[in-house]
Amino acid sequence: MDFTKIIGHDRQIKSLKNSIKKGTVSHSYLFEGEEGLGKKAVAYAFSKALLCEKAGDDACNTCNSCIKFDSSNHPDFKIISPTNKNIKREEIDNLIKDISTLPFESSRKIYIIDDCHTLRLDSQNILLKTLEEPPEYVTIILITSEKDKIIPTILSRCQIIKFYSLENSKIVNLLVEQHNMEINRAKFIASFSKGSLKKSLELANSSDFFNMRDKIIDIIDNLLRGHQIKAITSLDFFNENKENAEEILDIMVYWFRDLLILKETGNPKLLINQDMVEKLSSQTFVDLDRINDIIYRIDETKINIKRNVNYNLLIETMLLSI
């Protein structure tokens, strides 16, 4: 892994490379942004470049340091990740002890704390003491998708680098060129994943995702055509896929959003489900007010599921309303 292997985040990478060139590397960073954007990949590439024996602004991939880094065997690099949704106090205590010792092979020691928002308050306060007066040879990279859970005093000690969703075109190109995906399906995944490369790759490699979407589209078609018996029997599908409820409801929202756009503009190029234009066109008999009401009810169902309102009752009410 090096900077050349990373898709997107050009501005963030340029800033990090410039800090290496100018010798202005910070002792503590916070990489902040939504889940699955590639923050950890950038953190790895940055760490590898900082430890590289060639001392350039990117890893050479050939020196002893780079080889050890790639084999997860570099003595001056450590990463801490949550176990059972939390980073244990013991791991932070061990990290503080390790920081106090000089580097073994490099001029630096690099530490990544992934999902640092899972640190408990006492662990954050312990880490803060190190961030206030870090040894010259230490760089700590905190990674989070929930910055609001981190105490302000830690934030004030870090150089914050914000990561944003990837452009759809970059995800589409990757899926088409490296995963041999049909372009309209690639466009759907890029839009559905909301710019998350991790989510896009998970969906691209899932044999079940598009089968599930096809089933949902069939359910929608029956609902719109007034087949109430089939609407009730579709409850089984929602119960069997309860763990994917948010994803299923997102698929439904995107479908009705496309139906709304197709009715108003007639332009299939604006659709997310571009591979299903014929099916969408067959449903344009539904009036605009009804489509807007359906989208509202699906969004309301999503919110109430997160509030732990009775799942079966919510789904049944939503289906009957459609």
Residues 60 and 148 in one domain: yes
> Is 190 among the domain residues?
no
Domain boundary among 162, 197, 218: 162
Q: What is the mean pLDDT of the chain?
A: 93
- Asked, for residue 178, whether it belongs to a domain, the answer is no
Are 17 and 141 in a shared domain?
Answer: yes
- Classify residue 168: in a domain, yes or no: no
For residue 314, give its domain range: 207-321
Phi, psi of 102 (to 5 degrees): -65, 160
The answer on 155 and 217 residing in a single domain is no
pLDDT at 108: 95
Quick check: is 197 in a domain? no
pTM: 0.82
Tens-place pLDDT, residues 134-149: 899 999 999 999 999 9
Residue 171 in domain? no
Whether residues 143 and 8 fall in one domain = yes
Span 242-293, pLDDT tens digits: 999 999 999 999 999 999 999 999 999 899 998 899 999 999 999 999 999 9
Same domain, 123 and 15: yes
Percent of the chain with pLDDT over 70: 98
Span 216-234, average pLDDT: 82
Tell which of 162, 179, 195 closes a domain. 162
| Same domain, residue pair 140 and 288 | no
320 vs 73, higher pLDDT? 73
Higher pLDDT, 141 or 228: 141
Given a cut of 80, whether residue 227 has pLDDT beyond it is no
Counting residues of the chain whose pLDDT is more than 90, the rounded percentage is: 78
Strand residues in the chain grouped as ranges (E): 28-32, 77-80, 109-113, 138-144, 159-162
Would residue 180 count as lying in a domain? Answer: no
pLDDT at 229 over 70: no
CATH of the domain at 291: 1.20.272.10
For 188-197, how does the pLDDT look when each residue is reduced to its tens digit (9 = 90+)? 999 899 889 8
pLDDT digits (tens, 9 = 90+) for 12-29: 999 999 999 999 999 999
Looking at the structure, tell me whether residues 129 and 219 fall in a common domain.
Answer: no
Number of domains in the chain: 2
- CB-side exposure of 157: number of CA atoms within 13 Å? 21
Report CA-CA distances (Å) from 265 to 129, 219, 268: 58, 25, 8
| Domain contains 218 | yes
Q: What is the pLDDT of residues 79-120, one digit of tens each?
A: 999 988 899 999 999 999 999 999 999 999 999 999 999 999
pLDDT of residue 228: 66
- Identify residue 302 by its one-letter amino acid code: K
Over range 212-221, report the average pLDDT.
93
> In whole angstroms, what is the distance from residue 186 CA to residue 189 CA?
5
For residue 169, tell me if it sits in a domain.
no
Q: Are β-strands 109-113 and 138-144 bridged in parallel, bridged antiparallel, or unpaired?
A: parallel
pLDDT level of residue 231 (50, 70, 90 thresholds): low
